[in-house]
Structure 1
Amino acid sequence: MEGTRVMHIVRFADSDATVHCGLLVDGVIRVLEQDRIADLLALSLAELRVLAEEPAATPVAAADVTLLPPLDGRMEVWAAGVTYHRSREARMEESAERSVYEKVYDAPRPELFFKAVPWRVVTDGDAVRVRPDSSLTVPEPELGLVVNAHAEIVGYLVVDDVSSRSIEGENPLYLPQAKVYEGSCAVSAGIRPVWEVPDVKALEIAMTITRGDEIAFKAAISTASLHRPVSELVSCLFDGQPYPEGAVLATGTGIVPGMDFTLTPGDVVDIDIAGVGRLVTPVR
């Protein structure tokens, strides 16, 4: 990183509603030749880094465009579960099948599940949602790994894996309904390149939920508490199936409110991962 420069790979719509990709640094976007994030993820990590370091051209002010979720094409969002001790405790607390979560925490194979396709993902400023048939819903702040078609981690995102604890707690087989629905997946608007994050094992993840003028919940944790190496999670994700246009893998949460807390419409969820980005979403 040069000085205090902070780079993000972004996807945005210009004043004509044409979608582009670019590199955002200090409020200015350098437009890239590739119009899709998926095309960038077809490149190797080395090729992407060379592209990012080319001389600036075609600058656009970030204030003049609309930042979009940095996913498109045939990208997929997956997530890992029970990767922090707090998550293990919370899942056991809510579930009628406690042993399922106790066993997977230390099992050779991690829990991985499908979360969203690009057109279902929202970003900073957009709303996340609670299911009308859920009595207990929580945000789950997570470090997201942006992985290219070659199974290389090329960047990081802030991810909110919004989840219905009441539905999953009834039966683990209800996991897709608890995790996959409209407004259940939000990501930060910029991908932080992997080469600009010196130590992924020491990032603070902080979440504040405000309700009106009050703080309803606040907590923080470090990725140092992540139970499995991120390289192991990526290896398991790619074991058995390709991702020709890349994927985002959320690495699980270590922040889970108590059973007496649920999101309500009007709440605002603010997630910050040091060195990666920030994601602020209202709740509908």
Structure 2
Amino acid sequence: MRIIRFLNANSVPVLGALTDQEEIYLLPYPGFMELVKEAEERGVTPLRLIEDSIAGTQPVEEVLEDLKLLVPIVAPEVWASGVTYEKSRDARNYEATGGKAQEATCYDKVYDAERPEIFFKSTAARTIGPNDPVYLRSDSQWQIPEPELGLVLTETGKIVGYTIGNDMSCRDIEGENPLYLPQAKVWKNSCSIGPAIRLAETVEDAYNFQITCRIYRDGQLTVEGTANTAQLKRKFVELVSYLKKDNELFDGTVMLTGTCIVPPNEFTLQDNDKIEIEISTIGVLTNPVKVQQQARELA
């Protein structure tokens, strides 16, 4: 069972349950976390609450492709983990040294360290949903998407759902100096999540999500890569334990868990590219790539 948000015929955001048969049922809750809280208060699982809510009702007439999908959750904060896959470590080393590293870098050290890399990625205002454009940063010449599995968390750090995230990144800015990481990661429309939330209780093995990223240019497939969460160096509970350590979590926080798909080193995103990130049993997150109008005006 998956949860989606979309605009109804009156352009009002509504919550829906998306079955594995692609049927969509309206839910009487304003948001995903309200559903989770209601289930907790009733002493049932979110899946059971949904099944009770839609029993005896009919699915909506529209199919998923006809809906104006929104972010499946208005996450108050999005955090991200870095260097959680070996390929991510290698890519960061290439950025920092031009492929000429002769000794261990900070990325090698954090890959093997007890403490993971965790950084702040986005706020609700900077986070977009399916089919909305991600923006290119005007002061970077080497930008890529980072397809990642996202964890939807309660304020206690419990994982209640899984979603898809695109952690847009500027490889040249981070490669120039690791201290520039916030600028390499955070700007307007630099994070997208969606199109749905897969209920955690319906996932048999969270370390067997198949991830695929496709980038199209002028309608042609230009980059394609695949990975599996089985390749993760760290466990999700480990990442969450460090995120919540001496920190305050808000209901609906999303934590991105790192990437194992990195485009070729000579590749950079361009205006009008299209990014598709697919994760098995969750869906496909699609976003066009755009240059910000402000960037055009300053050029």
TM-score, scaled relative to structure 2: 0.86
Question: Mean alpha-carbon deviation: is it higher for 259-268 or for 234-243?
Answer: 234-243
1:37 is matched with 32
The answer to whether the Cα contact below 8 Å between 2:27 and 2:53 also exists between their aligned partners in 1 is: no
Counterpart CA distance in 1 for 2:112 and 2:201 is 30
Alpha-carbon distance in structure 2 between the residues aligned to 1:261 and 1:189: 26
Q: Shift in Å at residue 30 of structure 1?
A: 2.7
Describe the shift of the 1:52–1:150 C-alpha distance in structure 2 as closer, same or farther (beyond 3 A): farther
Q: 2:154 aligns with which of 148, 162, 182?
A: 148
Judged with a 3 Å threshold, the aligned counterparts in structure 2 of structure 1 residues 81 and 29 are, in CA distance, closer, same or farther, namely: same
- SS in structure 2 of the partner of residue 257 of structure 1: coil
Matching of residue 103 in structure 1 with residue 105 in structure 2: no
Q: Which residue of 1 aligns with 2:172?
A: 166
* Post-superposition offset of 1:13: 2.0
| Partner residue in 2 for 1:69 | 71
Query: 1:42·1:148 contact (CA, 8 Å) conserved in 2?
Result: no
**Structure 1 moving runs of 4+ over 3 Å:** 26-29, 40-47, 57-65
User: Residue type matched to 1:51 in 2?
Assistant: L
What count of residue pairs does the alignment treat as equivalent? Answer: 277
Pick aligned residue for 2:268 from 240, 249, 262: 262
Percent of residue pairs bearing the same amino acid type: 41
Unmatched 5+ stretches in structure 1: 1-6
TM-score, with normalisation over the residues of structure 1? 0.90
Aligned-residue offset at 1:232: 0.8
Task: Quote the offset at 1:178 in angstroms.
Answer: 0.7
1:202 partner amino acid: N
Q: Could you say which residue in structure 1 is the equivalent of 2:295?
A: none
Q: Does 1:16 align with 2:10?
A: yes
CA deviations over 1:6-51 (Å, ceiling 9, x no partner): x211122222222222212244433333202342354649542331
| 2:60 corresponding residue in structure 1 | 60
Q: Which residue of 2 aligns with 1:176?
A: 182
State the 1:283 CA deviation: 0.9
Code of the residue aligned with 1:68 in structure 2: it is: L
On the 8 A contact 1:75/1:243 being kept in 2, the answer is no
Say whether the 8 Å CA contact 2:73–2:252 is kept in structure 1: no
The equivalent residue for 1:86 is: 87
How far apart are 1:214 and its partner, in Å? 2.7
Name the larger-Rg structure.
2
2:245 maps to 1:239: yes
RMSD: 2.1
Distance 1:152 1:61 in 2: 34
The match for 1:211 among 189, 214, 217 is 217
Measured in 2, the distance between the counterparts of 1:235 and 1:151 equals 8
Alignment CA distance shift 1:68-1:174 (3 Å): same
Partner Cα separation in structure 2 for residue 253 and residue 31 of structure 1: 33
